[in-house]
Structure 1
Amino acid sequence: MASFNTIDDLDDAQRVLVRLDLNSPVEDGEAQDNRRFSRHAETVGELADEGHRVVLMAHQGRPGRDTFVSLDQHAGILGEHIDREIQFVDDIYGDDALDAIEALEPGEVLLLENTRMSDDELPEEAPEVKADTEFVQTLAPQFDAYINDAYSAAHRKHASLVGFPLALPAFAGRVMETEYEANTAIANREFDGQVTMLVGGTKATDVIGVMETLGEKIDTFCLGGIASHLFLRAAGYDVGYDRHEDLDLYDTQWANNEDVIRRLLDERRDQIELPEGLAYEDDGERAEHTREQLDAANHDYMDISEETVEKYDPTIRNSDAVFLKGALGVFEEEQFSAGTVGAVKAIAETDCFSVVGGGDTSRSIEMYGMDEADFGHVSIAGGAYIRALTGDDLPGVELLVDAAN
Structure 2
Amino acid sequence: MFETLDDIESGNRVLVRVDLNSPVEDGIVKDNRRFSRHAKTVRELVDAGHRVVVMAHQGRPGRDSFVSLSQHADILAEHVGAPIHFVDDVYGESAVEAIRGLDAREALLLENVRMTDDELPERDPSVHADSAFVRTLAPEFDCYVNDAYSAAHRAHASLVGFPLVLPAYAGRVMEAEYEANTSIANREFDGQVTMVLGGAKATDVIDVMTALDEAIDHYLLGGIVGELFLRAAGHDVGYDVDGTELYDHQWEANEERIRELVAERGDRILLPTDLASERDGERTEFAVDGVRKDHPFLDVGSDTVDRYGAVIEDSSVVFVKGALGVFEDERFADGTVGILESIASTDCFSVVGGGDTSRAIELYGIDEDYFSHVSIAGGAYVRALTGESLPAVDALCRNRDDRG
Q: C-alpha separation between the residues in 1 aligned to 2:232 and 2:344?
A: 32
Does residue 321 in structure 1 map to residue 317 in structure 2? yes
Matching residue of 2:212: 214
Q: C-alpha separation between the residues in 2 aligned to 1:110 and 1:348?
A: 38
Partner amino acid for 1:264? L
Percent of residue pairs bearing the same amino acid type: 65
Deviations 1:81-126 (A, max 9, x none): 0111100000011110000000100000000000000010011111
Q: C-alpha separation between the residues in 2 aligned to 1:42 and 1:347?
A: 26
Deviations 1:35-74 (A, max 9, x none): 1000001100000011100000000000000000000000
Partner amino acid for 2:330? E
1:315 CA drift (Å): 0.5
Matching residue of 1:351: 347
- SS of alignment partner, residue 60 of structure 1: coil
1:244 CA drift (Å): 3.6
1:152 CA drift (Å): 0.3
Does residue 111 in structure 1 map to residue 95 in structure 2? no
1:366 CA drift (Å): 2.1
1:369 CA drift (Å): 2.1
1:311 corresponds, among 307, 310, 317, to 307
- SS of alignment partner, residue 289 of structure 2: helix
1:254 CA drift (Å): 0.8
Matching residue of 2:291: 294
Matching residue of 1:125: 123
Q: How many residues align?
A: 401
Structure 1 unpaired stretches of 5+: none
Instruction: Quote the RMSD (CA, aligned, Å).
Output: 0.8
Does residue 403 in structure 1 map to residue 403 in structure 2? no
Partner amino acid for 1:139? L
- SS of alignment partner, residue 194 of structure 2: strand
Partner amino acid for 2:321? K
Matching residue of 1:50: 48
1:252 corresponds, among 231, 249, 253, to 249
Q: C-alpha separation between the residues in 1 aligned to 2:364 and 2:292?
A: 30
Matching residue of 1:280: 277
1:365 CA drift (Å): 1.4
Matching residue of 1:269: 266
Q: C-alpha separation between the residues in 1 aligned to 2:203 and 2:235?
A: 20
1:219 CA drift (Å): 0.3
Q: C-alpha separation between the residues in 2 aligned to 1:294 and 1:325?
A: 27
Q: C-alpha separation between the residues in 2 aligned to 1:366 and 1:60?
A: 21
TM-score in terms of structure 2 length: 0.98
- SS of alignment partner, residue 362 of structure 2: helix
Deviations 1:139-190 (A, max 9, x none): 0000000000000000001100010000100000000000000000100111
1:333 CA drift (Å): 1.1
Q: C-alpha separation between the residues in 2 aligned to 1:212 and 1:306?
A: 28
Matching residue of 2:69: 71
- SS of alignment partner, residue 85 of structure 2: strand
Shift >4 Å, 4+ stretches: none
Matching residue of 1:177: 175
Matching residue of 2:358: 362
Matching residue of 2:31: 33
Q: C-alpha separation between the residues in 2 aligned to 1:281 and 1:244?
A: 13
Does residue 163 in structure 1 map to residue 135 in structure 2? no
Q: C-alpha separation between the residues in 2 aligned to 1:369 and 1:55?
A: 33
Q: C-alpha separation between the residues in 1 aligned to 2:283 and 2:22?
A: 31
Q: C-alpha separation between the residues in 2 aligned to 1:101 and 1:82?
A: 19
TM-score in terms of structure 1 length: 0.98
Partner amino acid for 2:28? E
